[in-house]
Amino acid sequence: MTQTDVKAVAVDGIEALAVDALRWLLGQARESGSGGLAWAARPSDAGLEPMLYSGTAGVVPVLLEAWRHFGDDAYADTALRAARSLVAAVDDCEDSSLYFGLTGMALVLRTVHEELGDAAAGAAADRALGIVRSRFDGTRWGELFDLMGGNAGIALGALAAGDEEFAVLALEPYLRTAEPVPAGVHWEFRTGRDGRMHHISHGTLGIVYALATVGAAAGRTDLVELAEAGAAGVVARAEDGPEGFLVAHSDPAHLPDLIERYSYGWCHGPAGDAQVFRRLRDVLDAPAAWSALADRCWHTVTRSGLPERLRPGFWDNNGRCCGTAGVLALACDRIAEQDDGHDFAAVLVADLADRAIRDADGARWSNFEHKVTPGDLEPRPGWAQGNAGIARELIRFVRLGRGGDPDYAFAWPDQPPVHRGIRQATDPIRPAGTDVTS
């Protein structure tokens, strides 16, 4: 067998793993009435969950990814049935946010309308965003004031939906609530909490991402300058320099019982920080400086020891939000943009393959909680901690390994699209590493 054949077999094996993951995921779907399908956050939960983070809205993107990748209309049909349940859930959803409420549901429904021609989904998306706007009190939408659950995420969702004016309106409160720190600014992420968080999911860099994205699109220099001040405040905290980039989870510690002071994934670590710096590279001045910060994040991630579980609490998660799949997303971005990251992407995929639970029902993953016994957690179907998020990244890895399109079928508003100008147009994406699976 030639070297090329070996690489093809490795990628084919990961594609088969993704198929098994999708099969288990589809097996967890439940009838939701009127021909709709929906998912619970956990298979053992009695109630259904519509949210992007852990429910039905987060499953639809991987169904669209699978439909585009495999050309199988069964995935599109399932996405349409899932959208039907989301349409029915809009009027009863009390949360307005990107990851936990109506804004995320609206973006998924709009994509179903655009990709699959479902007019009811498009109308429901418009209705959902109208409800979100009606709930704005002039400052915020509730306790959370971050990307996942607050203004920053709602602004990104509004911009993705084409409502630039609403996106700016959602971000203007950050101008008057910024708190000075020695090198810049930061914000309270939840009402009444003393700790200040720094990273993309709930902290300063998530707000920075939204301010820079919307500010650049709307020509609002005040928002852009505030984004730069927020980024400067976080950069000043960075350790592991000058080559690396590592910032504590929060200051003072948001979770007093947190064993690990530092995280490395998308949610609270340099894998997510790098995505923010990729965005700043694309929309602000001095792209080389922002690229250098993203490279420093990558340096730290690849030398951290993950995905090995070096000690209790260090790396117990396979998922997209806080685990291996989220780091794989960044690795694939680097493959596409810089022809870099192949070897580490192969390590991450091999780990996911090794940890997969495979049987007649398909494949799924159990995260681990070191503070309880038994520590193996129930496998989940959703985007953040389960099959939907993992399978989506495996499919993209396979496509890149075959020289295919690096873009997703559904563009998450807080992961920058691949910047093709970084690579030479004639520089093909070489296949990924060989030692991925048998």
Strand partners, 250: 197
pLDDT of residue 357: 98
User: Is residue 429's pLDDT more than 50?
Assistant: no
Whole-angstrom CA distances from 373 to 93, 201, 376, 379 are: 35, 28, 8, 16
pLDDT value at position 194? 86
The tally of CA atoms less than 13 A away on the side-chain side of residue 422 is: 18
Please classify residue 290 by burial: count the beta carbons closer than 10 Å to its beta carbon, then call 0-12 exposed, 13-18 middle and 19+ buried: buried
> Quick one: average pLDDT of 273-302?
97
For 298-317, b/e burial (b = at least 16 CB within 10 A) is: bbbbbebebbebeeeebbbb
Report the pLDDT value the prediction gives residue 421, as an integer from 0 to 100: 65
Lowest mean pLDDT among 79-83, 98-102, 223-227, 418-422: 418-422
* Cα–Cα distance measured from residue 288 to residue 240, given in angstroms and rounded to the nearest whole number: 20
Sign of the Cα pseudo-torsion (95, 99, 100, 105, in order): positive
Q: Tell me the per-residue pLDDT of 397-425, one tens digit each, with 9 for 90 and over.
A: 999 999 999 999 999 999 999 987 664 33
Q: What is the mean pLDDT of residues 74-96?
A: 98
2 has pLDDT over 80:
no
On the question of pLDDT at 169 being above 50, the answer is: yes
Sequence-distant (6+) residues with CB within 8 A of 41 are 49, 54, 55, 380, 382
Pairing state between β 184-186 and 179-181: antiparallel
Virtual CA dihedral for 137, 142, 147, 149, nearest 10 degrees?
A: -130
Q: What is the pLDDT of residue 8?
A: 55
Average pLDDT over residues 181-205: 95
Per-residue exposure over 259-287, b if at least 16 CB sit within 10 Å of its own CB, e if not: ebebbbbbbbbbbbbbbbbbbbbbbbeeb
pLDDT in tens, 343-367: 999 999 999 999 999 999 999 999 9
Q: Which residues contact 176 (CB under 8 A, 6 or more apart)?
A: none
CB 396 within 8 A of CB 406: yes
Q: How confident is the model at residue 172, as a pLDDT? A: 98
The pLDDT score that the predictor gives to residue 435 is: 34
Helices (H), 164-220: 164-171, 173-177, 204-218
pLDDT at 269: 97
SS3 of residue 218 by DSSP: helix
Mean pLDDT of all residues belonging to the chain: 92
Q: Which residues contact 299 (CB under 8 A, 6 or more apart)?
A: 240, 243, 244, 245
Of 232, 241, 158, 155, the residue nearest 198 (C-alpha): 232
Q: Work out the percent of the chain whose per-residue pLDDT is above 70.
A: 92
Does the structure show a pLDDT above 90 at 56? yes
User: pLDDT at residue 317 above 50?
Assistant: yes
Listed residue (241, 223, 248) closest to 152, CA to CA: 223
**pLDDT band for position 1 (50/70/90)?**
very low
pLDDT score, position 422: 62
Using the predicted structure, report yes or no on whether residue 110 has a pLDDT greater than 90. Answer: yes
Q: What is the mean pLDDT of residues 25-37?
A: 94
Cα–Cα distance, 280 to 285 (Å, whole number): 8
What is the predicted pLDDT for the residue at 197?
95
Instruction: Return the amino acid letter for 205.
Output: L
Each residue's pLDDT tens digit, 252-286: 876 666 668 899 999 999 999 999 999 999 999 99
pLDDT of residue 257: 62
Is residue 434's pLDDT more than 70? no
